[in-house]
């Protein structure tokens, strides 16, 4: 039996209400103080992960800091708390630890955490990229778009996931607009990729103005609040929101019936998996970052797999191959906790303004 663990943490104070409705009566400043003092803990035991080649069990381990706290508190304090969470995974018998949400981007994106633990560590970003692109390609096809002629915007292109998406898509699309707060890293990325594929590049720090002409948007920033609103998007756009917390406002789906928004990296897990914890997904499905941890455990590859901020296509290809071997597949499309059906996509296509 192979063994893994995965770090969960509340993205916001509102997430804590899912755990305990009484939390809504606690003032925000007091709740943040309580979370800062609380020690990491075991959330649940994961059973039933079984591929044609191996079987695994695992644990969700909880790091009680919100996304906002992970950004604003001293970096060393946050890393210490994540390492404490990893020590619980070690005690439970896990041989590899997956870093979820903001725990994968704090500091040097997992490198220091791996150095301070006695088990392997992965951020899950390689499989996140692979499945986000797989989902984007399929969503574009269903919307009648040819990626070879598409204008693509990558919001958060200076990050590890965004830059990896740019590297891979540069071989497939006509033009890519790289968007992030800092221009210099975008210019370096554009210079690196120019001439190596079919795409041309532009760079910008202005999200709002760039999205109006984008046929396809991939959103992967580490912002703690929404940055894409209904008025920002072109009619008929396909938007893949990979970020947690989400980059796309819920109002986009409510107000724009001519835009397709999907969540990146929703994966069907082989076997009869039971997470014994409700994180808002249908049974037997999970985030791609969680799946990467399970895939590596099933393969017995207890090694530091995806760490740091430089993802390479060969690593993404490797985890994609292992996913297929063990029976992990894209679990259709989802949008704000709801399935996106082919009928819904057809309706969106009919509403597109030419």
pLDDT digits (tens, 9 = 90+) for 110-164: 999 999 999 999 999 999 999 999 999 999 999 999 988 899 999 999 988 999 9
Res. 265 pLDDT band, cuts 50 70 90: low
Mean pLDDT of 310-320: 90
Q: What is the pLDDT of residue 239?
A: 95
Q: What percent of the chain has pLDDT over 90?
A: 71
What DSSP character marks residue 94?
A: -
Distance CA 84, CA 72 (A): 19
Tokens standing for residue 13? 């104070």
Mean pLDDT of the chain: 91
Q: Residue 336, SS3?
A: coil
Distance CA 349, CA 141 (A): 11
Mean pLDDT of 56-82: 95
Is pLDDT at 189 greater than 90 in this prediction? yes
Cis peptide before 245 (omega within 30 of 0): yes
Q: What is the pLDDT of residue 46?
A: 98
Res. 346 pLDDT band, cuts 50 70 90: very high
Q: What is the pLDDT of residue 18?
A: 63
Mean pLDDT of 99-110: 90
Mean pLDDT of 287-292: 94
* Phi, psi (deg, nearest 5) at residue 100: -100, 145
Res. 17 pLDDT band, cuts 50 70 90: low
CA-nearest of 187, 172, 238 to 211 is 238
216-219/266-268 β-pairing: unpaired
Q: What is the pLDDT of residue 114?
A: 97
Burial of 91 (0-12, 13-18, 19+ CB in 10 A): exposed
Res. 310 pLDDT band, cuts 50 70 90: confident
Is pLDDT at 14 greater than 80 in this prediction? no
Is pLDDT at 190 greater than 90 in this prediction? yes
Is pLDDT at 244 greater than 90 in this prediction? no
Distance CA 150, CA 234 (A): 13
Q: What is the pLDDT of residue 115?
A: 97
Tokens standing for residue 79? 């890393």
Q: What is the pLDDT of residue 148?
A: 87
Mean pLDDT of 61-65: 95
Mean pLDDT of 171-181: 92
Cβ atoms < 10 Å from Cβ of 1: 9
- pTM of the predicted protein model: 0.87
Is pLDDT at 98 greater than 90 in this prediction? yes
Distance CA 226, CA 78 (A): 23
Res. 20 pLDDT band, cuts 50 70 90: low
CA-nearest of 64, 74, 50 to 1 is 50
Res. 59 pLDDT band, cuts 50 70 90: very high
Tokens standing for residue 216? 């396809």
Confirm if 131 and 265 have CB atoms less than 8 A apart.
yes
Res. 19 pLDDT band, cuts 50 70 90: low
Is pLDDT at 21 greater than 70 in this prediction? no
User: Which residues are CB-neighbours of 290 under 8 A, at least 6 positions away?
Assistant: 6, 98, 100, 124, 267
Find tokens 């210019």 and name the residue: 187
Task: Report pLDDT digits (tens) over 208-238.
Answer: 888 999 999 999 998 878 899 999 999 999 9
What DSSP character marks residue 124?
A: -
Distance CA 98, CA 28 (A): 29
Helices (H), 41-147: 67-72, 75-92, 111-115, 125-142
């Amino acid at each position: 039996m192979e063994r893994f663990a995965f770090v969960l943490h509340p993205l916001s104070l509102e997430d804590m209400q899912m755990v305990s409705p009484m939390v809504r009566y606690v003032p925000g400043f007091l709740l943040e103080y309580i979370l800062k003092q609380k020690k990491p803990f075991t959330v649940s035991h994961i059973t039933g992960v079984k591929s044609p080649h191996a079987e695994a069990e695992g644990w969700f381990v909880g790091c009680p800091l919100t996304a906002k706290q992970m950004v604003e508190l001293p970096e060393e304090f946050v890393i210490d708390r994540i390492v404490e969470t990893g020590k619980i995974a070690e005690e439970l018998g896990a041989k590899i630890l997956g870093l979820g949400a903001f725990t994968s981007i704090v500091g040097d994106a997992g490198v220091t955490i791996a150095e301070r633990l006695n088990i392997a560590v992965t951020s899950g970003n390689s499989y996140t990229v692979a499945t986000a692109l797989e989902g984007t390609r399929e969503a574009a096809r269903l919307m009648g778009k040819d990626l070879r002629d598409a204008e693509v915007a990558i919001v958060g292109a200076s990050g590890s996931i965004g830059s990896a998406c740019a590297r891979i898509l540069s071989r497939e699309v006509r033009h890519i607009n790289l968007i992030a707060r800092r221009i210099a890293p975008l210019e370096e990325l554009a210079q690196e990729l120019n001439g190596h594929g079919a795409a041309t590049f532009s760079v910008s720090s202005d999200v709002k103005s760039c999205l109006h002409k984008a046929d396809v948007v991939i959103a992967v920033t580490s912002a703690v609040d929404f940055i894409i609103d209904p008025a920002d998007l072109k009619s008929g756009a396909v938007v893949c929101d990979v970020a947690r917390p989400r980059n796309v406002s819920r109002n986009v789906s409510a107000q724009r019936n001519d835009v397709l928004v999907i969540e990146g990296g929703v994966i069907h897990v082989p076997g009869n998996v039971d997470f014994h914890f409700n994180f808002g997904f249908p049974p037997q499905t999970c985030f791609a970052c969680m799946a990467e941890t399970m895939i590596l455990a099933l393969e017995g590859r207890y090694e530091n797999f995806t760490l740091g901020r430089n993802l390479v296509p060969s690593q993404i290809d490797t985890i994609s191959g292992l996913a297929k071997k063990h029976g992990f597949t894209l679990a259709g499309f989802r949008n704000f906790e709801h399935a996106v059906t082919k009928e819904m996509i057809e309706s969106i296509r009919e509403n597109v303004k030419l």
